[in-house]
Structure 1
């Protein structure tokens, strides 16, 4: 069943979020108001090293009041290529410059509520360039063994959908 959009209106907007209401019609003729959020597209990287470890940030998310590991990721700036954003975000959030990046996956998290997408890349090397320039992004940066990922996901130490999907894709590619 395809939903047909008759109109949409802005409910709230700032530089980070655009909350909208769409007047949609279902195939059976029913109409309803459906809220959705426009958010900038994101880019991130799964960065591996020679020891089958992945570079993660440990951070607190106040919305869920939880501490979790995440891949470095953030908004793609206007006119910025997704691959450049993934490299920039990795450096800013971790202090590590990823080696050559190649496309790993694309996702649309919560596509029933959010109109956004993420472009995720894979690097198999990285060079330490210093402390994270965006130190407020995380409590610390860690190299985590790929073999520990299932336990960390099960124990809710990794909960973000994009992070989970990207890590599982990378682990699969590396036979872990």
Structure 2
């Protein structure tokens, strides 16, 4: 038990959606006072740094309604109930890019916004890519355009705010560190 632990007094789910649930918890703080916490419950997700033989990063551009604009990202998607993250990574890579991979390595898992959400993203690197003949396409409500960019181009896209999400920025910084270590 942490000295900072907030004990749940009461929890109420106020919204159950396709991707997230929202609950409001009343908690007892370490000093004995109470407060409310608005919490997003998420099943978790994967993100894939897919690298071509030429060292290009496979990315997708898609519209993000929460931002009211299109951004460029690494392939990613949410875990299905009972699905292992590595399987999700392979599925999302196929659905969003049409690629399969010969090698898939788990890098790290991280929380996206621990102040209000429990979403845990599992980040993978996919290598030995190959185009799949009968690849499943994106979900019916998902529209993406495939891009393959070099590391310098990806860094430029960050400066232009076309790459603007944490998982993709994390991936680019990881690749930059790997390149510097060579």
* Same structural fold, with TM-score higher than 0.5 when normalized by the shorter chain: yes
CA deviations on 1:131-161 (whole Å, 9 max, x unpaired) are 6611753441010111222221121111111
Structure 2 unmatched runs, 5+ = none
- Say if 1:104 and 1:169, in contact at 8 Å, map to a contact too: no
Residue 69 of structure 2 aligns with which residue?
Answer: 66
Q: CA RMSD for the aligned pairs?
A: 1.8
| Residue 31 in structure 1 maps to residue 2 in structure 2 | no
Structure 1 unmatched runs, 5+ = none
| Residue 149 in structure 1 maps to residue 161 in structure 2 | no
- Say if 2:47 and 2:167, in contact at 8 Å, map to a contact too: no
Alignment map for 1:12-31 (pairs within 5 Å): 12-31=15-34
C-alpha spacing 1:137/1:170, structure 2 compared with 1 (3 Å): farther
C-alpha distance in 1 between matches for 2:172 and 2:91: 19
Aligned length: 176
| Selected match of 2:106 from 103, 107, 111 | 103
| Selected match of 2:59 from 40, 56, 60 | 56
Alignment map for 1:84-99 (pairs within 5 Å): 84-99=87-102
C-alpha distance in 1 between matches for 2:59 and 2:153: 12
| Residue 77 in structure 1 maps to residue 80 in structure 2 | yes
C-alpha distance in 1 between matches for 2:16 and 2:96: 26
